[in-house]
Amino acid sequence: MADGLREIEDSGTFSNFGPVNTRFEARLLAERFEGTGSVLTVNNATIGLMMAIRAAVGADPSGTRRYALMPSFTFAATAHAAIWCGLTPLFCDIDPDTWMPCLESLERLLHLYRDQIAVMVPCATFGANLDLRAYARLSAQWGIPVVVDAAASLGALDPDGRPFAAGAPFPVVFSMHATKTFAVGEGGFVYADDPALVATLREMANFGFGQPRSATMLGINGKLSEVMALLALAKLDEFDAVLQRRGQLEALYRAQLPGWTFQAATGLRHAAPFVAVLPPAHVARTTAREALSRREIGSGAYFSPHLAEQPYFQSTAVAGALRHTAAVARRIVALPIADTMTEAEVAEVCDVLHAVEAAAPTRGMRPAAALAGAVN
Ligand SMILES: *Cc1c(COP(=O)(O)O)cnc(C)c1O
């Protein structure tokens, strides 16, 4: 790492798609996307989403097509990116098992708002594999472009065992934020099997300079620095080990929490940055989280509140029916997973949750069991 930093210093190039960034993009493509398509690094996924949405909807997003169709069950960045592009988020519901956009809900809104929808921005929830073929079909059928928020999905393997998004015809945006499985710090990248689109986005990310120091389109500074690219290269070196370790820990959670509901598998591997679960019906989320907190175990509640519940989006977005979103968001708990976590630590988390489960009042079951005990 020190050598790499010295090299950057000696080169005198600290950003602007320098040699370290070029090396990272090439390796990312070769090692994580089977060498097909193109990638562009960005300084964070939110900027990547903004640029990709802007490029997809064209120069006049304030015309009749004003909605960005997306799930309410996602991170705030998805909706912010659309609003920065002058669009109004239109929230669809999720599938109760995969926690990704429910296609029936999506199609209902497509029928209702048809000519007013500028772009679809589905989310590959918690590092899962979104069914990109379904979106390619919908995009062709409705003539609406697609931008995918796959912030946490680098490392996911689809049902055929291929890297998620390899060969995707539309932009798929990934994050390298410290909280993701591909944890670098700040950063991200846009992948598309569309070299012309990625070349356009590269110019957009460099102030819209389609000619030397001369703007030919709307631009922004979306560039990743050479130092961050160096850190990203180091993460790439260890990424297979990271994925394997996290996969083992997740399997342990699944085996030790039989009464808890996990996200349905959408491929051979998810790249989940944490283990999201729904507690059994009789266990309250707050009780579980408080018990973990007392043992100094951190937990989260992503994505809760979901977007339609957040004050800013209540005044800037429109929502369809969100029955499953509400049900999942109300209960979800994100359990910790980390590269350095041990099996004993997973067991400790599960032990705390088992105690919470045993102590929670049940409807019917435990009294019946107690009665049986009394008869014996
Ligand atoms: C983390 C995340 C983002 C934002 O990524 P940044 O790189 O921090 O901008 C966007 N969408 C989803 C679903 C995320 O999980």
- pLDDT digits over 104-149, tens only? 999 999 999 999 999 999 999 999 999 999 999 999 999 999 999 9
Are 217 and 325 contained in the same domain?
no
Give the CB-side neighbour count of residue 304, counting CA atoms within 13 A.
21
* Active-site residue, from 180, 223, 269, 289: 180
Are 356 and 286 contained in the same domain?
yes
158 lines ligand 1 (CB under 6 A): no
Q: Of 234, 267, 287, which residue sits at a domain end?
A: 234
Quote the domain boundaries for residue 190.
2-234
Prediction pTM value: 0.95
Domain count of the chain? 2
Q: The CATH number of the domain where 250 resides is what?
A: 3.90.1150.10
Are 191 and 248 contained in the same domain?
no
Are 264 and 226 contained in the same domain?
no
Q: How many Å apart are CA 188 and CA 239, to the nearest integer?
A: 15
Question: pLDDT 10s per residue in the chain (376 long)?
Answer: 899 999 999 999 999 999 999 999 999 999 999 999 999 999 999 999 999 999 999 866 557 999 999 999 999 999 999 999 999 999 999 999 999 999 999 999 999 999 999 999 999 999 999 999 999 999 999 999 999 999 999 999 999 999 999 999 999 999 999 999 999 999 999 999 999 999 999 999 999 999 999 999 999 999 999 999 999 999 999 999 999 999 999 999 999 999 999 999 999 999 999 999 999 999 999 999 999 999 999 999 999 999 999 999 999 999 999 999 999 999 999 999 999 999 999 999 999 999 999 999 876 554 444 443 333 3
Q: Token pair of 86, please?
A: 């002058």
Find out whether 36 and 193 touch, Cβ atoms under 8 Å.
yes
180 has catalytic annotation: yes
> Would you say how long the chain is, in residues?
376
Are 229 and 248 contained in the same domain?
no
Are 165 and 274 contained in the same domain?
no
Judged by DSSP in three states, 361 sits in coil
87 lines ligand 1 (CB under 6 A): no
Compute, in angstroms, the gap from residue 45 CA to the centroid of ligand 1.
Answer: 6
Residue to mutate (ligand 1; options 53, 75, 235, 332; most atoms within 8 A of CB): 75
Are 205 and 300 contained in the same domain?
no
Q: Of 234, 249, 283, which residue sits at a domain end?
A: 234
Are 274 and 194 contained in the same domain?
no
Are 102 and 167 contained in the same domain?
yes
Q: Of 212, 234, 256, which residue sits at a domain end?
A: 234
Are 45 and 79 contained in the same domain?
yes
User: pLDDT, tens digit, for every residue of 14-24?
Assistant: 999 999 999 99
Are 49 and 138 contained in the same domain?
yes
Closest-CA residue to 124 (of 54, 49, 67, 65):
49
